[in-house]
Amino acid sequence: MPERDLVSCNAMIDGYGKSGKCELAEQVFRSMNKKDVVTWTSMVSAYVFNHRPKEALGLFREILNVGIRPDAPALVSVLSAIADLGFVDEGKWVHTYISTNKIKLSSGFIASALIDMYAKCGHIENAYHVFKQVSHYKNVGDWNCMISGLSMHGLGHQALEVFLDMKTKEIKPDEITFLGLLNACSHEGLVEEGKFCFKLMQEKYKIIPTIQHYGCIIDLLGRGGQLDDAVEIVQNMPMEADVIVWKAILSACVQNGDFAVGESAALKAIELAPEDSSCYILLSNIYAKVGRWDDVRKVRLMMKRRGVRKIPGSSSILVNGKVHEFLVGKEMDVKCNVEVLSKIEEVVSRLKLEGYKPDLTQVLLDIEEENKESSLTLHSEKMALAFGLINTSNGAPIHIVKNLRVCCDCHSFIKLVSRVYNCRVVVRDQNRFHCFENGSCSCKDFW
């Protein structure tokens, strides 16, 4: 293949990947008989960009097998795929590859990618270790990754400490730094600190808040019980509120039982994102809480008419190097179905002796289910946990990755399991990490 063709094919893979046409990128990739490191890297990035982390990781292994030395962008891409999957062993393997091949952490964005990967895989200490090795380079991206990693782990105070350290080292924070900080404050309920950061970014650093910053501060105030202030910000924002802002208000209303504001926020959110099932579900939850069953039915009908479907909850767990995925209401791998279900039954009855009461209010969210208690036991994280209890030897921590937020029932269920079965369970949900140990969770029930 002439040099020119190689370059144009590489560009095609890159272009298809970035425009969401992953299959076309694959076709070009497979049809090429000569590939260089850019070809491989572009294909790995295309998989990552299109949320296909398993394929990205598989292709990365192929790069090593054919004896090509991956470049920094390939390493960054594969680390981001691993972060997505959430399983640290693969990440440690890539980290070892980087060290043994004497690839500098400061080249490309490798340090940032490693910090991000360790944080997203639940190993915040390792993230911090990498961060300490590179912090003297004063690369703001590394600091930002560290702050958002701490935020995801509910370590708001530590995130603020890293920020203060930036100041002493004279590193200028940017808008991403403040997004991380606001999130960190929100996850740990640090309302005053969050308000201070929001003010500081505008007054001292002259950063104009984007809609994402507004979303964070509104979420922070809403969770912190300052709903009136949150609503005031929405009214005075220089831009139109988006669906994220309305959902933050809506969640705060569900939490505080503010019916009227919640209803109007839900209707606004539905207007902006008619395909997003979570808004309908929260609205129906608000109605159910005050016993307006007619309205609950209306919301249900509206969802049906518009063909809105709930995103099914799914949880993955890594056992003996293999990822097992569980989908709400059913088990993916039929073989272990019976075993998992009977384990859940056994766990439920043992927990009931310890005072576990299934939280049936959570089923209101699950509007299509008839049999309330049994539908609760089929939540994907409970199935993954049961599978973990069967297949993990005593003492080994159980790592679960969930695509949605953990519900209140599963949360108290896993807390009890960690005490009764004396095990450590780490769950990464859509927003953050939960480390369950001795009957309590690292999020202090604030998530």
Residues contributing to the site for Zn ion (CB under 5 A) = 379, 407, 410, 434, 441, 443
Q: Which is nearer to Zn ion, 38 or 414 (CB)?
A: 414
Taking the complex as a whole, the smallest distance from the CB of residue 428 to Zn ion amounts, in Å, to: 11
Scan for tokens 């409970």, then name that residue. 382
Between 12 and 407, CB nearer to Zn ion: 407
Q: How far is the CB of 400 from Zn ion (least distance, A)?
A: 12
When the beta carbons of 82 and 317 are compared against Zn ion, the nearer one is: 317
For residues 178 and 241, give the distance between their C-alpha atoms in angstroms, rounded to a whole number. Answer: 19
Least Å distance, CB 82 to Zn ion, is 23
Of the two residues 73 and 156, which places its CB atom closer to Zn ion in the complex? 156
Distance (Å, whole) CA 312 – CA 378: 12
Taking each helix axis as running N to C, give the angle between helix 140-152 and helix 124-134, from 0 to 180 degrees, rounded to the nearest 10.
160
Q: Are 343 and 389 in contact (CB under 8 A)?
A: yes
The rounded distance, in Å, linking the Cα atoms of 34 and 70 is: 16
Q: Which residues contact 249 (CB under 8 A, 6 or more apart)?
A: 218, 222, 227, 230, 231, 234, 261, 262, 265
| 76 secondary structure, DSSP code | H
Distance from C-alpha of 63 to C-alpha of 69, rounded to nearest angstrom: 7
- Shortest Å, Cβ 226 to Zn ion: 22
CB closer to Zn ion out of 166 and 410: 410
CB of 221 to Zn ion, least distance (A): 21
**What Cα–Cα distance (Å) separates residue 42 from each residue in 23, 77, 163, 298, 424?**
13, 9, 34, 48, 39
Q: Are 367 and 316 in contact (CB under 8 A)?
A: no
Q: Which is closer to Zn ion, CB of 155 or CB of 443?
A: 443
CB of 29 or CB of 413, closer to Zn ion: 413
* 3-state class percentages of the chain: helix first, strand second, coil last, to nearest 5: 65, 5, 30
Report the alpha-carbon angle 143-148-153, nearest 5. 125
Least separation in angstroms between residue 335's CB and Zn ion is 24
Q: Which is nearer to Zn ion, 40 or 326 (CB)?
A: 326
CA dist 393 and 78 (Å) reads 30
Rounded least distance, CB 31 to Zn ion, Å: 46
Q: Which helix (H) or strand (E) holds 18?
A: helix 3-18
CB of 220 to Zn ion, least distance (A): 18
